[in-house]
Amino acid sequence: MKKVSVLMMASLLGLTLIASACSSGQAGTGAGTGAGTGAGTENQPPGASGETPAINVAYMPDMHGATPIVIGEEKGFFEEAGIKVNAVKFLSGPPEFQAMASGDIDIAYIGPGATFLAAQGQGKIITVDSLNTGDAVLTRADSGIDSWADLKGKTVGVPKGTSGEMILNLGLKSASLKPEDVNIMNMDVAGAVSAFVSKKVDAVAIWSPYTAEIEKQVGKENIKVLGNNETFFPDYVFPQSWVVRPAFLEEHPDLVEKFLSAFSKANDYRIANLEEAVKLTSEFTQVPEDSLSMQIETTQWLTTEEMVKHFEDNTVYTWFESLESLFVDNGKMTEVVPAEQFVSKDTFLNAVKK
């Protein structure tokens, strides 16, 4: 398989960050194979030397955040668009936004939990990757916890700032409870799994594929799902997105459109060839195929044609503004910002219609 070039970002690797969902909380880790053209694109404009312009892209090692990059390279979609991609591995949204702020990253994949950073003006959403249905709040079948209301006074393990926490907060709200009515223990994803398996917490708010890992260790028959993303559809939808740093979009709109053109082709190929997509992604990320396959069942995939429709009728705006209301509830935002301020609708539509 062709290798996507990867930047080594030592300054980011030294950061110790809370691990969390594919949506927003795991620590960024350095990339693995090869070297790109170097970070700091503000000082060296893409393609300035007459070479094919390169875009520094942050990915996450899963079927959402890595597969379009892998397929785009493997099937020649980036080459066809006239760009190169330097892929940098991260496990969370916040450090990606830090890297964009410093100019080291141009475009990044994020999950629902990091959307508030884009809404705060730190990035422009340029397309929706897919809709997440893999977050869940789990308890044990013999715990006596049969409803959201039964969580009052109980201990719940959750990586804070993630889409898992968002599901927990929605469930508590539906039972007229507040987060302070529950003993919430902030822990990284590995700690949350371990704490649940060892019965150190009464419940856990987590996501796929870690929900499957818990099932494997505890037994599916011994677990009760209090709720997941689909519990709150259609009032709340959880889009996973690709964002661009605002300065890069302003300076290089043509390159962003070229990336989106290649992404759209890679996305449609992914949906039509999921088995192959799992294999290619596993080879690149070194994540086992069975773990990646689990994400297929916890994702609502969107073809380019479907995304065009959702952008044109402003459904995408509704998705993000509903997410913002959750960020207001948990104190990450003070008000809901009109989605048109941080979603670059025209950039996406221009790219896929050319």
What are the residue boundaries of the structural domains of the chain, listed by start? 54-132+237-353, 135-232
Query: Helical H runs in the chain?
Result: 10-13, 67-74, 77-81, 93-101, 115-117, 163-174, 189-197, 210-218, 246-251, 253-272, 274-285, 289-296, 304-312, 315-329, 345-353
Q: What is the pLDDT of residue 72?
A: 98
Q: What is the pLDDT of residue 234?
A: 85
Q: What is the pLDDT of residue 208?
A: 81
Q: Could you tell me the two tokens for 268?
A: 């449609």
Alpha carbon 10 to chain centroid distance?
Answer: 22
Q: What is the pLDDT of residue 331?
A: 85
- Weakly modelled stretches of the chain, pLDDT under 50: 1-3, 5-43
Please determine whether the domains at 54-132+237-353 and 135-232 fall in the same fold group of CATH.
Answer: yes
Query: What is the CATH superfamily name and number for domain 54-132+237-353?
Result: Periplasmic binding protein-like II (3.40.190.10)
Q: Could you tell me the two tokens for 28?
A: 């960024």
Pair 238, 64: CB distance under 8 Å: no
Short-list 64, 43, 56, CA closest to 88: 56
pLDDT, one tens digit per residue, over 126-151 is 999 999 998 999 999 999 999 999 99
Pair 331, 171: CB distance under 8 Å: no
Q: What is the pLDDT of residue 205?
A: 96
For domain 135-232, give the fold.
Answer: D-Maltodextrin-Binding Protein; domain 2 (3.40.190)
Q: What is the pLDDT of residue 49?
A: 64
Model pTM score: 0.81
> Computed over its alpha carbons, how large is the radius of gyration of the chain?
20
The CA distance from 280 to 127, in Å, is 23
